[in-house]
Amino acid sequence: MSEERLREEFPGKAEAPKSRREMRRERERERRKRRLDSLAKFFARLWGLLDSLARVFARLGRRLDNLVGYFVRLKALNPAKISKERLREELRRQEEAPKSRRELRQLRERQRWRKRWRGGLTELLVTVFVAVALVFGFVRPFVFEAFSIPSESMVPTLEVGDRVIANKFVYRFAEPERGDIIVFESVDSARHRENDTLIKRVVGVEGDDIQVQNGRLLVNGEPQDETYLNEKLPDKSSYGPTTVPEGKVFMMGDNRANSGDSRIFGPVPLENLKGEAFFRFWPVRRIGHF
């Protein structure tokens, strides 16, 4: 019997309650949709920023062209053959001597060029200042930032000394999801005194039941297929079960047998998250997404 016919037969009957798995899948779809929307907004803003930077550097190029033209005109005076003092005396003598119409026109042209060059130089300095302020005042603090991998907790995905770029903008509009590799501030300052910035993988979000049995991760009672783990050093530990509180995420390293993570210092608050690592730019032989 079709769904429409059932509704006609039982118009007053409420919908059957959803199972826990269906509700979890529905939440996952909603999170994925919100994340895609936030990424679309992020890239739209990023495109606008890049367009502004392109206009700034185009203006910078024009100022450099004007500067080159100025030096080309100065070359006509051939200052290499005479000293600065002699050049000044020659220019002063030319200014004091009676001028023909042609010389007056050339003098006015030189004065106009000097004013234009000074204004162009001022605009060039302002343009460079604005470009530097945009890059270091907006892009680095709010959009992207580079981080170095401090430990072996993410082997083999990330090695010690790898340098990655983290998107610091994404979690302003979306919540973390399972599988995200996140840079965050440690909640255990006593344990991580040398470097309080860590990088781990999200294995559980708020409301998830986390348990580890003989090295196997179970989320909400379901075993997880984790192909990214370090097979050379298998984990045989057990943990939990525990439920991830609201406003927190459960983080674990890919090198489970050698990782200090949420199994030790507990779930990480969302306000400790710095950004999602998504691109490795060093070493060159391993450059790319992960």
Tell me how far apart the 2 most distant CA atoms of the chain are, in Å: 110
Domain ranges of the chain: 50-143, 149-289
* Average confidence score pLDDT of the chain: 77
CB atoms within 10 A of CB 28: 13
Give 242 or 15, the one with higher predicted confidence: 242
Q: Looking at the predicted structure, is the pLDDT value of residue 92 above 80?
A: no
Q: Average pLDDT for residues 18-28, to the nearest whole number?
A: 74
Give 197 or 195, the one with higher predicted confidence: 197
Closest among 208, 184, 196 to 268, alpha carbons compared: 184
Report whether 267 contacts 248 (CB < 8 A): yes
Q: Looking at the predicted structure, is the pLDDT value of residue 14 above 50?
A: no
Tell me the pLDDT tens digit for each residue of 115-124: 665 655 565 6
Q: How far is CA 94 from the centre of its chain?
A: 59
Which pLDDT score, from 0 to 100, does residue 263 have? Answer: 96
- The residues annotated with a catalytic role in the active site are 153, 200
Name the region of 195 (left: φ>0; alpha: ψ -120 to 50; beta: rest).
Answer: beta
For the chain, the residue count is 290
**% of the chain beyond a pLDDT of 90:** 38
Q: Which CATH class is domain 149-289?
A: mainly beta
Give Cβ neighbours of residue 97 (< 8 Å, ≥ 6 apart). Answer: none
Element (H, E) at 37: helix 20-75
CA distance 130 to 233: 50
Tell me the pLDDT tens digit for each residue of 123-165: 566 556 655 655 555 555 667 888 999 999 999 999 999 999 8
**% of the chain beyond a pLDDT of 70:** 59
